[in-house]
Amino acid sequence: MSRIGFKPVTFDSKIKITGKDDSIEVTGPLGTLSMKVHERIKYEIKDNQVTFSRINEWKSTKALHGLHRALLQNLIVGVTEGYTKRLEIVGIGYKAEMKNNYLLLHLGYSHSIAFLPPPEVKVEVPAPNQIVVSGIDKQLVGLVAAKIRSFRKPEPYKGKGIKYENEVIRRKQGKTQTK
């Protein structure tokens, strides 16, 4: 049984959390985020702490209990520090560049790929083989990074493609010549 849902979420005085019926809004130095709260989960905001409780002991309600606590914690970290995902491009001739607001990717296809990220997410290209995706919404940052990675996933023989910074690619052995 998980006990994450019972742990109170604490926040600083520079963060403002307001609750309206079935939603919670978190405002911090980097912006504002909000989340919906399921009707089987109740919350209470008191003394720089938010506590969650559940109305019954069903298995699905217990899962929602821990989920809501984790989601609120992610919102608080997002509006104070933000989230960043780093991607690396591996392969000869593979590169990325920013043109206007578009991310242009040259990945060995007969054409370039132009990707327009959502306005809430900031995409930077510090080097031709590096992409940095950052923003305050953890879910959206991860979604954009996964979408960019999907344009050319790393292949297992040479490792060419777009991968996360610390991702380990399991390599396969190529053909062996017999005599």
What is the CB-side half-sphere exposure of residue 65 using CA atoms within 13 A? 20
85-98 pLDDT per residue, tens: 999 999 999 999 99
**What does the alpha-carbon distance between residue 176 and residue 173 come to, in Å, rounded to a whole number?**
8
**What does the alpha-carbon distance between residue 148 and residue 128 come to, in Å, rounded to a whole number?**
14
Domain ranges in the chain are: 4-80, 83-164
Q: Are 50 and 7 in contact (CB under 8 A)?
A: no
**What does the alpha-carbon distance between residue 35 and residue 142 come to, in Å, rounded to a whole number?**
17
Look up the pTM and report it: 0.90
* Cross-strand pairs, 99: 102
**What does the alpha-carbon distance between residue 75 and residue 33 come to, in Å, rounded to a whole number?**
6
* CATH architecture group of domain 4-80: Alpha-Beta Complex (3.90)
Q: Amino acid letter at 112?
A: S
**Fold match between domain 4-80 and domain 83-164:** yes
Task: Give Cα separations from 25 to 2, 16, 101, 171 (angstroms).
Answer: 25, 8, 29, 45
31-82 pLDDT per residue, tens: 999 999 999 999 999 999 999 999 999 999 999 999 999 999 999 999 999 9
Q: Does domain 83-164 have CATH number 3.40.50.2300?
A: no
User: What is the torsion angle, in degrees rounded to the nearest 10, for the CA atoms of residue 104, residue 108, residue 109 and residue 112?
Assistant: 20
